[in-house]
Structure 1
Amino acid sequence: MHTQVEQQTAPENNPAQITLLKIREWGACSDGRDWFREKFPQGGTYGEVMNGLYADKRYGDARWLADKAFDVKNINADFIKSDVRSIIAVTEGVDVDENDGAQIGSSGDDARIGSSGYGERIGSSGYGARIGSSGDDAQIGSSSYGARIGSSGDGAQIGSSGYGAQIGSSGDGAQIGSSGDGAQIGSSGDGAQIGSSGDDARIGSSGDGAQIGSSGYGAQIGSSGYGAQIGSSGDGAQIGSSGDDARIGSSGYGARIGSSGDDAQIGSSSYGARIGSSGDGAQIGSSGYGAQIGSSGYGAQIGSSGDGAQIGSSGDGAQIGSSGDDARIGSSGYGARIGSSGDDARIGSSGDGAQIGSSGDGARIVCSGENATVAFAGRRGSVSLGKGGAASLVWHDGARNRFINIYEGEDGIEAGVLYAIENGKVVRQ
């Protein structure tokens, strides 16, 4: 009897491959592992696995997988591109026939409608409709669940209000709207405008200049084109972009946002956001509580005003600012500039030439890189310097604040030792 051998590791030439070993490492539940073992004994790409989960209505597992793939540690352009391709492929294969200006309506179940003429208008209210259009300026509407709609012409206008819709467009300038739950929407043409208000939507775009908006819970949005604009207001959104100059905004709770393209602008206003960027020149802002922000590209600009932020940067030339309390900030790149105004901040820098300022009370700053400059405006601060480092700390003499400067290598100040001011004297902690 022939037995299939499970694939344990991903092929080196396909970083988007999902294997049983990988989901085990990510902590998949036993039921999820059993499903994956049955459906993908040899493994599968991220997009293929997501299609399978949606086909079996395992939306919770789909959210889990996207959460892992879009994690700060894992975000990868190949995952995003794989997802976009798979969503677009879902709606391929609908036969079309030719007629300009056609007006087609159907209210029965399992209808198959095809049109290749210019300016057609197609409407369907029955269950399980299959609608295909290859002509320009098509207007397509579906109100029942399980619809599959495909359009390859330019300027298409597609609307769906039913559950479980699958919508694909490869023409330029498409306008796609969906209000039903569980929608899968894919676009490969430039200038697409895509909107979804239903829960558990999956939206993928590979064309340039896409505008994507989602207000439903659990949205999964991927874009690999240049200049994408993505907005989400629903909770639990998972957003990934691999194209340059992306503009991404989220106001829902628990958003997961990943970007691997250069010059991304990312903003989040709700608490529990997790934001990761690996491209150069990223601009990231968060105002919600408990944000987790990571950047590995050069020249990142990161700002956070919510409490409990966790911010990490490994690229050179980072500029990081935090105004919330209990911030945790880490930087390993050269020439970092870090500022914090909240209380009880914990700041670490291992790159050379860092410039760090803190105005909140109780800050603790550790610099292991050379030639760091640290300035405290808040009280009860403590600092550890690297070689050539200098710091200015504040203490209160009972009448006013006073500064005391310390310099590594002078007056017994040693590198790698934490110092603070007590009663006007420098002491080891």
Structure 2
Amino acid sequence: MANVSGLIEGAMLIGGQSEGVAISVPHGRVVCKSSPINVVHSGYQGSVYGDVVISPEEMAGGDGEFYPTPDGGWISVTGYGSSIYAGNGVRASALGDESEVNLDYITQPAEGMRDISACHAFTSGYSSRINASENVKASMLVATGDQSTINAMDTTDNVAFVAGANSQVYLGSDSVLFAAQSPFFVLGENGAAAIAWHDGNRKRITVVYAGENGIEAGVDYYLDEHGQVVQA
């Protein structure tokens, strides 16, 4: 669960029981402490902080306190240059160009709250990013826009999908990459990739395994025009 110990300066707060909120303020920042979290932000350069919990000190209890929701909720931003900061179990989509989804803690989490799992992060705009911290595991990371980046280098057991041209994917251990076009990619220990390419007549798939056929974990690769793996 993403952890924010206090309100973000200048942000709007959504709390209590909520069936869903839509926001269109440019540059608007939103902190969600609602149950469930269900937010759409259509303003450009907006930010949504989702699945936000109170600080470890506040978690000792007290009337009127907010507590973590059992799931991460649903968050979508549609304006260009927008950001989502979210955690455990979130379903997050950033649809505008140059937007991003960040799966991470904002402040140091309390003991026993370190894992971020079962997330679904999606970007579709040009030059968009998914950033996953080392706590992220067992999650789906999907980028469909050209020149997108998935940065999950220190994570484990995740699945990444990329569809756009000239993308970059950095994965951690035991993770899998599926690509509709050849990206620049890095696999972690025991990682694997299935990458499509065109031989001039039809689509083909090259399958890559870290630790086999000279492919090393932590090294940048791409496919050449013959579908062969080449070190970048």
Once residues 220 and 16 of structure 2 are traced to their aligned partners in structure 1, the CA distance between those partners, rounded to angstroms, is 43
Number of residue pairs the alignment of both structures matches: 198
Q: Which residue of 2 aligns with 1:395?
A: 197
1:9-55, Cα deviation, whole Å (9 max, x unpaired): xxxxxxxxxxxxxxxxxxxxxxxxxxxxxxxxxxxxxxxxxxxxxxx
> Any idea what SS the aligned residue of 1:252 has?
coil
Runs of 4+ that moved beyond 4 A:
none
Once residues 264 and 251 of structure 1 are traced to their aligned partners in structure 2, the CA distance between those partners, rounded to angstroms, is 17
Give the structure with the larger helix fraction.
1
Q: Which residue of 2 aligns with 1:351?
A: 155
> Any idea what SS the aligned residue of 1:243 has?
strand
Once residues 83 and 77 of structure 2 are traced to their aligned partners in structure 1, the CA distance between those partners, rounded to angstroms, is 9
1:253-282, Cα deviation, whole Å (9 max, x unpaired): 111111134531111112111111234422
Q: Give the alignment's Cα RMSD to 1 decimal.
A: 2.3
Q: Which residue of 2 aligns with 1:375?
A: 178
Cα displacement (A) at 1:401: 2.7
Please say if 1:247 is aligned against 2:20: yes
Once residues 312 and 246 of structure 1 are traced to their aligned partners in structure 2, the CA distance between those partners, rounded to angstroms, is 24
Alpha-carbon contact 2:50-2:86 (below 8 Å) kept? yes
Cα displacement (A) at 1:244: 5.3
Pair 1:288–1:79, CA change in 2 (3 A)? closer
Q: 1:422 aligns with which of 216, 224, 231?
A: 224
Write the mapping of 1:152-191 to structure 2, written as runs, cut at 5 A: none
- Paired residue type of 1:428: Q
Identity percentage of aligned residues: 25
Q: Which residue of 1 aligns with 2:124?
A: 323
Once residues 155 and 21 of structure 2 are traced to their aligned partners in structure 1, the CA distance between those partners, rounded to angstroms, is 29
Give the structure with the larger strand fraction.
2
1:42-79, Cα deviation, whole Å (9 max, x unpaired): xxxxxxxxxxxxxxxxxxxxxxxxxxxxxxx9944x54
- Paired residue type of 2:165: D
Once residues 362 and 342 of structure 1 are traced to their aligned partners in structure 2, the CA distance between those partners, rounded to angstroms, is 9
Query: What TM-score, normalized to structure 1?
Result: 0.43
Alpha-carbon contact 2:28-2:46 (below 8 Å) kept? yes
Q: Which residue of 2 aligns with 1:283?
A: 74
Cα displacement (A) at 1:394: 2.4
Alpha-carbon contact 1:311-1:328 (below 8 Å) kept? yes
Q: Which residue of 1 aligns with 2:208?
A: 406
Alpha-carbon contact 2:51-2:72 (below 8 Å) kept? no
Once residues 25 and 130 of structure 2 are traced to their aligned partners in structure 1, the CA distance between those partners, rounded to angstroms, is 24
Query: What TM-score, normalized to structure 2?
Result: 0.78
Alpha-carbon contact 2:83-2:94 (below 8 Å) kept? no
